[in-house]
A and B are shown apart, each in its own frame.
Chain A
Amino acid sequence: MNIIVLAKHAADPESEIRVSQDGKSVDERGLVFDINDWDRYAVEEAIRLKEEHGGEVVVVGVGQTEDTLRKCLAMGADRAIKVPVEPGMDSYQTAMAIKEAISGEKFDLILAGLMSQDYNNALVGVLLAGMLDIPFATAVTSIKVEDGKVKIVRELEGGFGEENVLSLPALLTVQSGINEPRYVSIMGIKRAKSKELKEVSVSVEGGYTEIDRIYTPPVKKAELIEGSPEEVAEKLIQILKDRGLI
């Protein structure tokens, strides 16, 4: 069972986010980068599948991604491929770059997170599946490999799920909560140092889109209640009383 996992080094949406002077990019100062949360689940799932079925886990990252690739190796991935291009937000270019970088790899399964926590496009995985012409499923919450096929459950709206069976090779994007990702141990970090992290240069052309403007959304703001915790509690109780809620 050879598994390729896509992992993005992505900014945390909970960090301080500002628009750059040019109005076309996000100011990286104040941003906290880490492995994309959805990809963390994908890496964990890949390692679990390998533990069950044997084989190899190869993690692929695009851009400035060493920290995240090292983390994946420390979690238990066998080797890493870094694709040193900066395609920004154009997911087509990212998917093309990955396609080229893995062209020499033999794989049964490609796993990726459902989306990235920064741009929330949810595109790279399925674009890659389309380019490779392999079956795919998104928002996957359960993966079982049996008889050369993969049985999955994917998330639908309203708490419903859908079970499907895909022939291999296939690409799956995983939903958060599919597993409980392991912590990176000191031993893991030590072992990761001796693992292969290879750079693969690719050429990326064109792209279909261009950022015109990035800006803060105009939002209706809540009426703010200020004061000490006791004062705030007092005011909230008054609001609840006025509404007949207590």
Chain B
Amino acid sequence: MRVFAVAEIKFGELDPVSIELLNLANSIKGDGTAEAVVIGNGISKYAEELAKYADRVWKIEDSSLENYNPELYVDVLSQLFSKEKPDIVLVANSSRGSEFAPALATKLNAPVITDIVGLDTSNGIKATRYIFQGKLLVDILVKDGDTSVFTVRQGVFKEGSEVGGEVVDAGIKPSVTPKREFSQIIEPEVGEVDISQADIIVSVGRGIEDASNIELAEELADALGGVVAGSRPVIDSGWLPKDRQVGISGKTVKPKLYLALGISGAFQHIMGMKDSELIIAVNKDPEAPIFGVAQYGIVGDIFEIVPALVDKLREIKG
């Protein structure tokens, strides 16, 4: 199989997910090749780095590719793939990859499956992904299509070995005038508390039910000497400021204690807190994916457990 991985460069660095894509490519290529594509301006250093893990690296270089633009990406990639005819194209399931990959698929008339965590090519092509926010897995067979496009979940294919391949210039230039123009990058908001530096985090999710209940989490955080953070639904509701969001689109935290209250554990959240030293989760739903990363779990009502815990902590501290 000819497997192509589209590398990702972010803020002047090769994103580690690019290597993960090549790890997957190498594990499924069989007698074929694992090839990388790198797009941008002044990208030779990234191409050289990628070549350690790929049989071949294709450089697509142009000053108009300095900033990511999905229309230009679809244009140059479809030019390359129409010529090289890969069996499989792997793209990161990032804010960028998950945006341009479906449009690339329509351009190539190719099947597309997103956010995959497994890919089996031993008998046809079978991809594995989660549905219902991590509660179920589904194996999906590709029925038709010469090229298949997949976006790959980060952090899944970390293991791999070096290959050592060549770098070639794809000789491709953009052939369209984009209807979307990049203006600027917007920096994250800075608040008074930096949760990424906290040792103890009391984190609340949808289960906190209402803004007024945040106080409960604050009492517990006070008693423990920690700070309050939250998952996406809490931030979306405006119950906590954006800089308190834990997850892929928020902050990554590694405290000594992460107490997850009423958080179901969507992947986007788990990626932001799974490296905490100790994770304790309280949730009503025994099937909540958060119990898959927690060391200790309590299946119960946070409105009963938290006050009891606050009382006991206050007793100890006098």
The chain A residues found within 8 Å of chain B, CB to CB, are 11, 13-14, 17, 19, 26, 89, 91-92, 117-123, 125-127, 129-131, 134-139, 151, 153-167, 170, 175-177, 180, 206-217, 219-226, 229-230, 232-234, 236-237, 239-240, 243, 245-246
* C-alpha gap A234/B70 in the complex (Å): 54
Give the contacting residue for B312; candidates A120, A126, A237; CB below 8 A.
A237
Q: Would you call the interface of chain B mostly helix, strand, loop, or mixed? A: mixed
| Contacting residue for A167 out of B105, B179, B185, B293, CB 8 A | B179
| Contacts known (A135-B180, A208-B143, A221-B297); A159 close to B242, Cβ less than 8 A | yes
Given contacts A117-B133, A120-B133, A245-B256, contact A134 B183 (CB under 8 A): no
Report yes or no: B106 in contact with A127, Cβ–Cβ below 8 A.
Answer: yes
**Nearest CB of B to A160, in Å:** 6
Contact A165 B103 (CB under 8 A): no
- Residue in chain A with minimal CB distance to B259: A236
Q: Are B141 and A219 in contact, with the CB atoms below 8 A? A: no
A211, A219, A233, A236: the one contacting B138 at CB < 8 Å is: A211
Chain B min CB distance to A88 (Å)? 11
CA distance A19 to B298 in the complex (A): 25
Give 16 pairs: A residue, B residue, CB < 8 Å, sorted on A: A122-B98, A122-B114, A126-B100, A127-B103, A130-B74, A130-B105, A137-B180, A138-B98, A156-B95, A162-B184, A165-B183, A176-B233, A209-B140, A210-B140, A236-B296, A243-B257
Chain A residues with CB under 8 A of B316: 237, 246
- In contact, B289 and A219 (Cβ under 8 angstroms): yes
User: CA–CA, A187 to B35, complex, Å?
Assistant: 59
Q: Which of A131, A160, A216 contacts B188 (CB 8 A)?
A: A160
Which interface class (under 10, 10 to 19, 20 to 34, 35 or more) fits B?
Answer: 35 or more
Total A-B pairs, Cβ < 8 A: 263
6 other A-B residue contacts (CB within 8 Å) besides A130-B105, A233-B312: A118-B131, A157-B248, A164-B183, A206-B144, A223-B296, A224-B298
Verify B142–A208 contact, CB threshold 8 A.
yes
Which of B134, B183, B200, B238 has the most A CB atoms < 10 Å from its CB? B183
Nearest A residue to B242 by beta-carbon distance? Answer: A159
What separation, in Å, do the CA atoms of A159 and B41 have in the docked complex?
25
Most chain A CB atoms below 10 A, which of B111, B114, B279: B114
One of B43-51, B58-66, B162-170, B301-309 contacting the partner: B301-309
| Nearest CB in chain A to that of B190: its residue | A159
Q: Is B294 an interface residue (CB 8 A)?
A: yes
User: Bound state CA distance, A126 and B308, in angstroms?
Assistant: 48
Cα of A217 to Cα of B294 in the assembled complex, Å = 16
Given contacts A207-B143, A224-B297, contact A216 B137 (CB under 8 A): yes
Cβ B187 vs Cβ A160 within 8 A:
yes
Q: Which 10 A-B pairs have the closest CB atoms?
A: A130-B106, A159-B188, A177-B236, A222-B297, A208-B111, A219-B292, A161-B186, A126-B102, A135-B179, A222-B294
Output the nearest chain B residue to A218 by Cβ-Cβ distance: B137
Listed residue (B104, B126, B141, B235) with the most chain A CB atoms within 10 angstroms of its CB: B141
